[in-house]
A and B are shown apart, each in its own frame.
Chain A
Amino acid sequence: MRVLVVQLLRMGDIVMSTPILRSIKDRWPEAEVELLINSSFQGLTPMLGKLVDQVHLFEYGLIQSGLGESDRPILESYWRVQELVEELNQREFDLILNLTHNRLSGWLVGIIEGGQREGISLDEAHNPSIFGLNSWFRYINENLSSSEPALFHWIDAFLGATRCGNDLGSRERSLGERESIRIELEETACGVEEVRGRLGEIFLDSLNPTKWIVVQPFTSDPKKSWDKFKFTKVMEVYSQLEPQARFVLIGAPSEKESLTELCTLLRERSVWADLLICSLEGALALLKRADLLLTCDTGIKHMASATDIKIVEISVGSSQVDKTGTYSPHAILIQSGQPCTPCSHSVTCPYEKFHCHEFAPELVAMVMHHHLMGNEIGLQTVAEEYKEQVKIYRSSLMPGGFWALRPFCRNVDWVGQWILQWAQAAALNQEHSGGEFSEVGSLALTFVREMTKRGILRFLRLWMQLKSKRREKILHAADRGLVRFDHELREWMRSQGLAETHFTFCRRYTSMVDSARTLIRIELKIINSLRDILEGFHVEESLESLGSATARRSDGEASVEHS
């Protein structure tokens, strides 16, 4: 079996694809997995190791410049694409999995000959035969491409799509069977040598007490790059908190000038920093041995997730932490508290200066300090103290396997979010196993979306208003997955000390567990029942009027009242 994975986005997206490549390798151990990426990120390929058997390159830059430059043959770009397509067609792929959610990749996947396709694929009549039978891809299309909040991280959504979306005789996994998921990259000898050459033996000496702090301050988008003066202040404050700290500034060759300027600013404040413009392999070797990474929304943060380094991510501008935040159990994410955050990628900021960049550098330095020390209470204190300016999260891999942002401020209903994740995943998987993404699935998703918007309690109220016999019937049908979920949730609460230490929390979460059980049952079994009940009226209309209207079935047998 031969699988082509198409990933034509940026470096971070390629790195985020590694759990999906692992999943494919696990699922079909004999499969040859080939990857198509933008040639600009060829530097990543030595680190993909055995996850990929062959890499194909899409020469995006050359194809685009061939289209626009008058000293290039008019058909050069056409022939380049043709050449690539011929190369790929010779491989005779059994499965083509498109992880690039854009039209360009859709056309390309539409041209490549192969057995089964998953993900966006466009035909010559411009009809997107986008999703095959895969409800997860439909979810990705509707939720991950917009600036609206999402329940799932990009990796989890694409993993869901990879797992349930194909029928090539593999072993199906049920919900709750997710193994530990993490980003994978292999260190190379070249990378280690490069870093040794630049920073000296001292860097590789694990007994040296120096705290190595890697900082990548700049991103490709000015909206997402926090102010360089604030970075300077952070490092100045941090060096007072941690005198053993030594900073290494890293960046792309194009950022050398700005980084040199930053180094000068630091020196004026008596803070010493090494400047390291290195290859991606060198960057991985550096991250693997350093103690902490401070960065914005960059590809480097995803690379760092393949190591055990502690990470502090600053999320400003259009950076969407809920979809592409650092997928590591060692990360703290600081998101601007401005209501306009995150904004859309394509929208220019209407303000004279970025409001979302306006928060105290001192708080970042303190987060770095507490995070490196493993001081949870310190982190919580900073989160409470600066809650008007920022939201601070811990990136967590939950017991069920999904990634979630756990806020340090107690007033945020993150358990609720987690429960919704489960509910939605159940709905998507359930729907998929039913075959066509039907009206029932759409209905389920509409409900889950409404739950996200309006809160669980309101949804539960709706649930409670179902006839009791029907409720019983649904609850009786709960499967083993629910028991497991219940068990895992309780175990996890116990491990976090929530149940034992906080009486109010205990009561609250115990009640949440019950709600969760109910919700999961609802999501697994309720869909058909709800459809029966709602058949008599137009669902969307009723959802719009949710909160005020009373909707009744036309036959009067059952009623659903919305308060």
Chain B
Amino acid sequence: MIQSSHSRSGHWIFKLDGTLMASRNDPVSQAQSWIENQKPICNDEAYMGKQRTLFVLGLGCGYHVLALLRKCSRAQIVVIEARNETLEWVFNHVERSWESRVTMIVGEEPHRYFDTSKAKLLLRNPYCVLPYAPAMRKEERFYSEWQQYLLARDGKSLEAQMKLLDPLGITRIGEEKSELLSIKDLKFKMEDSQSKIWNLLSEMIQ
């Protein structure tokens, strides 16, 4: 259940089943701090200048997504949200007209979403995954599934992603293991440029 209120800075915020989804003091400043803590985008100017994809796990009150739009002027932002009511709240209280480079995915499972060729394309380019902690805590199972799928650092998620990325020809080598996978656990079947990229990356690991 959603309970709306105002922050001390005068912005709309809400509680979801008793959990606050943004700062009660100043959600806009909090959104800014959130961005500054996102290592992948802060270290990479390309995210700000290039047309990259940013997967945001959790819409929350929407302020961090708005801040991200300002920071990364050309990035495609895919917001994964577990609940429809959150989306409606943000539309009614914070932002009604989102830019076309924002895609909202509500309640959908990752393998269903990526079953379209357009979505598959997103996985074939550099992207990063930005979890929004208040939302992650509230719907842990839903967001963890997305996070694992996108990072593909466990056997099941990797397999699921590899099915989509065929004919990239990546296979796992070695035993099934409980810890997270690294690129060393993968092997490319492909010839030519793909295997050379693989060799280049291996050189960097050494």
Contact = CB atoms under 8 A, between A and B. Distances in A.
Contact of B196 (A70, A79, A111): A111
Interface stretch (A57-65, A152-160, A179-187): A57-65
Contact of A124 (B124, B158, B181, B191): B191
Contacts of A107: 196-197, 199-200, 203
Interface string B176-206: 0000111100100001110111111101110
Given A62-B43, A110-B196, A111-B196, A71 B201 contact: no
Interface string A73-86: 11111111111010
A107 B195 CA distance: 10
A448 B128 CA distance: 55
A122 interface: yes
Interface in B143-166: 150-153, 158, 161
B2 interface: no
B125 interface: yes
Interface string B38-50: 0010011010000
B126 A83 contact: yes
Contact of B46 (A59, A85, A110): A59
Label chain B's interface by main secondary structure: helix
A73 B152 contact: yes
Given A61-B43, A78-B198, A111-B193, A67 B203 contact: no
Given A67-B182, A72-B151, A124 B195 contact: yes
B104 interface: no
Interface in A465-480: none
A74 B203 contact: no
A494 interface: no
B129 interface: yes
Nearest to A108: B200
A70 B153 contact: yes
Interface residues of B, number: 35
Contact of A74 (B183, B200, B205): B183
B14 interface: no
A98 B127 CA distance: 29
Interface size class of A (residues with CB under 8 A): 20 to 34
A78 B182 CA distance: 12
A126 B198 CA distance: 12
A241 interface: no
A81 B195 CA distance: 12
A68 B46 CA distance: 20
A64 B195 contact: no
A65 B197 CA distance: 16
Contacts of A108: 200
A67 B199 CA distance: 13
A76 B43 contact: no
Contact of B201 (A59, A63, A122): A63
Interface string A122-156: 11101000000000000000000000000000000
A103 interface: yes
A518 B65 CA distance: 76
A67 B197 contact: no
Contact of B125 (A62, A65, A79): A79
A61 B151 CA distance: 19
A74 B158 contact: yes
Given A79-B125, A107-B203, A124-B196, A73 B183 contact: no
Interface of B: 40, 43-44, 46, 124-129, 150-153, 158, 161, 170, 180-183, 186, 191-193, 195-201, 203-205
Interface of A: 59-65, 67-68, 70-83, 85, 103-104, 107-108, 110-111, 122-124, 126
Question: Ordered nearest first, which 10 A-B pairs have the shortest CB separation?
Answer: A107-B200, A79-B126, A111-B196, A104-B203, A74-B152, A81-B197, A70-B180, A111-B193, A80-B126, A107-B199
